[in-house]
């Protein structure tokens, strides 16, 4: 008897994260709806996770493991798509843990939604460290950039992110796959909309996302996010909105307040104190933890400051000074590389 074709293919690029893949597989073994397959694409890792995937398969998980040379997460995702079977192509990060009802929720919510592409939110699991929980609050709170990233208060049209995103196979066939670039999920979402497909947020379909484990790595991540926003603005004129300028305004505002406090009056530090007090109170109301709320203060500063500094750096070099490779040329090179896979 032929094996049942799954409704959902969960495609995960992996690079040196065996412990995270183990947690991911364990969570998928607990799904209440088994109508899915897992596609793991090991993108040139030096520490492979094949044994972990094989063990999960032996315990009943429908999964396939592929190893390829290191070329980037977007190429790895496209590689996985071509080897998948499901009607819906689902993308999560390797450091995600999937709640038991996730597939069941998707099947129910998508049945009559009419959506061609969806995104879901992320949250912090009780087992995460306090730093991870503080970073999660910073990434999802309206006090930082949660309004840009699918928070409960939306500041712009919702854009799915690849820590929890999916679209139909028809979308892939018409809009193409991911391009190897930073903020490739935003680029993908823009192309999906331009192709005439519908996109929506399915809030009940959340994942637990470990994100970065320390603030230094978190800074590097959001700095790149800020730089990539300029890349997207060059690729898609008109896509840059006023809300995307807020982190850069935050950086400039902090510098102005500090300079005025030094040369005019210490009272100019009051706006910063009020803002960080609001972050603390918001985090306390959300997490009910004094320690997490205290860590949320530097996390919020890094979230806005890192993004803002990356944005300012890229704006200065790529737009004001017109330095670096032509953005269309760069993307075409990456696109051609993707199409070979």
> What pLDDT is stored for residue 98 in this prediction?
98
Share the mean pLDDT of the chain: 91
Dihedrals phi, psi of 238, to nearest 5 degrees: 95, -10
Which is nearest to 93 in space by CA: 35, 178, 8, 161?
A: 161
Residue 275 — pLDDT band, cuts 50, 70, 90?
Answer: very high
Does the model's pTM come out above 0.95? no
CA distance 79 to 66: 9
CA distance 110 to 113: 5
Which is nearest to 204 in space by CA: 101, 133, 324?
A: 101
Q: Which residues pair with 96 in a beta bridge?
A: 209
Q: What is the DSSP letter of 211?
A: -
Q: Which long-range contacts (CB under 8 A, 24 or more apart) does 292-300 make?
A: 292/130, 292/133, 292/134, 292/137, 293/134, 295/130, 295/131, 295/134, 296/134, 296/137, 296/138, 298/215, 299/131, 299/134, 299/135, 299/137, 299/138, 299/215, 299/218, 300/138, 300/141, 300/143, 300/144, 300/276
Q: Sheet containing 199-201: give its strands across.
A: 63-68, 36-43, 8-14, 88-91, 165-168, 117-119, 199-201
Residue 329 — pLDDT band, cuts 50, 70, 90?
Answer: low
> What pLDDT is stored for residue 157 in this prediction?
75
> What pLDDT is stored for residue 3 in this prediction?
73
Q: What is the mean pLDDT of residues 134-145?
A: 87
CA distance 276 to 260: 18
Task: Annotate 69-135 with DSSP letters as a single string.
Answer: ----HHHHHHHHHHT---SEEEE--TTEE--TTHHHHHHHHHHTT--SEEE--EE--TTS-HHHHHH
Please report which helix (H) or strand (E) contains residue 36, including its range: strand 36-43
Residue 106 — pLDDT band, cuts 50, 70, 90?
Answer: very high
> What pLDDT is stored for residue 155 in this prediction?
47
> What pLDDT is stored for residue 148 in this prediction?
52
CA distance 57 to 252: 52
Residue 259 — pLDDT band, cuts 50, 70, 90?
Answer: very high
- pLDDT over 70, % of the chain: 91
pLDDT for residue 336 is more than 90: no
């Amino acid at each position: 008897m032929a094996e049942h074709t799954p409704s959902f293919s969960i495609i995960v690029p992996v690079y040196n994260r065996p412990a995270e893949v183990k947690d991911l597989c364990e969570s998928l073994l607990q799904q209440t709806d088994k109508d899915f397959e897992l596609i793991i694409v090991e993108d040139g890792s030096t520490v492979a996770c094949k044994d972990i995937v094989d063990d999960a398969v032996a315990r009943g998980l429908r999964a396939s493991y592929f190893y390829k040379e290191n070329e980037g997460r977007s190429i790895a995702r496209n590689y996985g798509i071509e080897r998948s079977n499901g009607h819906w192509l689902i993308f999560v990060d390797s450091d995600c843990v999937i709640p038991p009802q996730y597939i069941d929720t998707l099947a129910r919510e998508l049945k009559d939604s009419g959506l061609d592409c969806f995104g879901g939110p992320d949250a912090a699991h009780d087992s995460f460290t306090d730093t991870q929980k503080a970073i999660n609050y910073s990434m999802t709170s309206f006090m930082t950039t949660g309004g840009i990233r699918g928070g409960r208060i939306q500041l712009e049209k919702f854009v799915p992110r690849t820590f929890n995103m999916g679209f139909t196979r028809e979308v892939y066939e018409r809009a193409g796959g991911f391009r190897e670039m930073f903020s490739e999920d935003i680029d993908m979402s823009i192309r999906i909309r331009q192709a005439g497909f519908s996109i929506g947020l399915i809030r009940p379909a959340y994942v637990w996302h470990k994100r970065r484990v320390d603030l230094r790595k978190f800074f590097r991540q959001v700095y790149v996010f800020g730089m990539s926003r300029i890349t997207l603005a060059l690729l898609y004129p008109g896509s840059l909105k006023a809300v995307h300028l807020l982190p850069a305004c935050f950086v400039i505002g902090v510098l102005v307040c500090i300079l005025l406090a030094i040369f005019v009056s210490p009272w100019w530090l009051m706006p910063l104190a009020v803002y960080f007090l609001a972050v603390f109170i918001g985090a306390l109301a959300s997490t009910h933890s004094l320690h997490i709320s205290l860590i949320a203060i530097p996390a919020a500063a890094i979230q806005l400051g890192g993004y803002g500094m990356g944005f300012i750096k890229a704006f200065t070099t790529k737009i004001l000074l017109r330095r670096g490779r032509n953005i269309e040329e760069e993307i075409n090179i990456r696109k051609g590389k993707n199409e070979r896979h």
